[in-house]
Structure 1
Amino acid sequence: MIDLAEDKPTNPLLRLGAQPIALTAAALFLLIVGATSIAIWRAYTGHAPETDRAVASRQLQVRAAQASEQLVEKTKGLEATQQESIDQLQVVQDQLLTVKRILSAQQADTKRLSEQVATLTESVDGLRQSSASARATEAETPTVNRRKPGRRAHASARHRKSRS
């Protein structure tokens, strides 16, 4: 014979599967209650996703504005520094040109003075040579005894001075 006791399932999950409409209704009810409680919680605490996104986007905009302001300030600072450097470079270039002009003038003076020294040296050498040749000529010629002028010559010279 057939034993009817063996046909009954002993697993409780199989029993729930026998009533699928009740199981689906309970799951749907739990989902609705959970979603509603989450929505109510966010509405009262002010943490709705839309407000979070709006706050986050505003914060990003503020940060971006601050960053751009900082970049503008830094750029202006760099421009000022660059202009100062250009001005300083111009001053240095002007000073360099002045130094070059002074150096050129000094070099021209030095050249002129060197030429004058060379001319003077040639003149001194020429005088030395002529002096040496004159001495050599004196040494070769016999010396002539000259007579000393007498008192009379001196007196006449004095007399001429007093007339003048």
Structure 2
Amino acid sequence: MIDLAEDTPSNPLLRLGAQPIALTAAALLLLIAGVTSIAIWRAYTGSAPETDRVVASRQLQARTAQASEQLVEKTKGLEATQQESIDQLQVVQDQLQTVKRLLAAQQSDTKRLSEQVASLNESIDSLRQSFASARATEAETPSVTRRKPARHRVHASARKRSRG
């Protein structure tokens, strides 16, 4: 027995060897009791965080899908509006080209008519000048009255007498 007493104090690991197992067993029992109590508490309250997370994630997915659909619809609406704007712009450009062509034709007609009016004005001016020069020439020459020759006068007076 003396030998055993000597072995115990000289080997401290043997003395501590029995205590760590008991300490570990007690910790394990406390851990199991805690997990069991949490599970029982969740089962009775019905509000398991996993269920809440699943529901929340499904709601988030539904909102995301709805937002995506709304974005797709708005994008399609914008595309349609943009296409309508492009079509309207094309119509306006075509109308503008038509107006430009009509304006160019009208301007050429106006130019042609202006040239014709200028030509007519020149013709009228030359006619006025020739008419004025003809009047001036008539005014410068003395007016000579023609007398009928004497024999015409004699015959004319004889006829008047015979009629009367």
Query: Do Structure 1 and Structure 2 share a fold, with TM-score over 0.5?
Result: yes
Superposition TM-score, scaled by structure 2 size: 0.67
Q: Give the drift of 1:41.
A: 2.1
Q: Give the drift of 1:66.
A: 0.8
* Residues 1:68 and 2:68 are matched in the alignment: yes
Farther-moved stretch of structure 1 (29-38 vs 83-92): 29-38
- Residue type matched to 1:41 in 2? W
- Residue type matched to 1:105 in 2? A
Q: Hey, what does 2:159 align to over in structure 1?
A: none
Q: Hey, what does 2:88 align to over in structure 1?
A: 88
- Partners of 2:103 and 2:48 in 1: how far apart? 81
The SS at the match of 1:133 is helix
Q: Give the drift of 1:135.
A: 1.1
In percent, how many aligned pairs have the same letter? Answer: 84
Superposition TM-score, scaled by structure 1 size: 0.67
Q: Give the drift of 1:108.
A: 1.0
* Residues 1:121 and 2:143 are matched in the alignment: no
Q: Hey, what does 2:112 align to over in structure 1?
A: 112
- Partners of 1:128 and 1:27 in 2: how far apart? 136
- Partners of 2:44 and 2:71 in 1: how far apart? 41
* Residues 1:100 and 2:115 are matched in the alignment: no
Q: After superposition, what is the alpha-carbon deviation per residue over 1:11-45, rounded to whole angstroms, capped at 9, x for unaligned?
A: xxxxxxxxxxxx99998776654442321121233
Gaps of 5+ in 2: 1-22, 157-164
- Partners of 2:144 and 2:96 in 1: how far apart? 71
Q: After superposition, what is the alpha-carbon deviation per residue over 1:140-163, rounded to whole angstroms, capped at 9, x for unaligned?
A: 21211035899x8xxxxxxxxxxx
Higher helix share: 2
Q: After superposition, what is the alpha-carbon deviation per residue over 1:64-104, rounded to whole angstroms, capped at 9, x for unaligned?
A: 11111011000001001101101111111111111111111
Taking only aligned residues, the RMSD between alpha carbons, in angstroms, comes to 2.7
Q: Give the drift of 1:53.
A: 2.3
> Given the superposition, is the C-alpha separation of residues 144 and 32 from structure 1 closer, same or farther in structure 2, using an over 3 Å criterion?
same
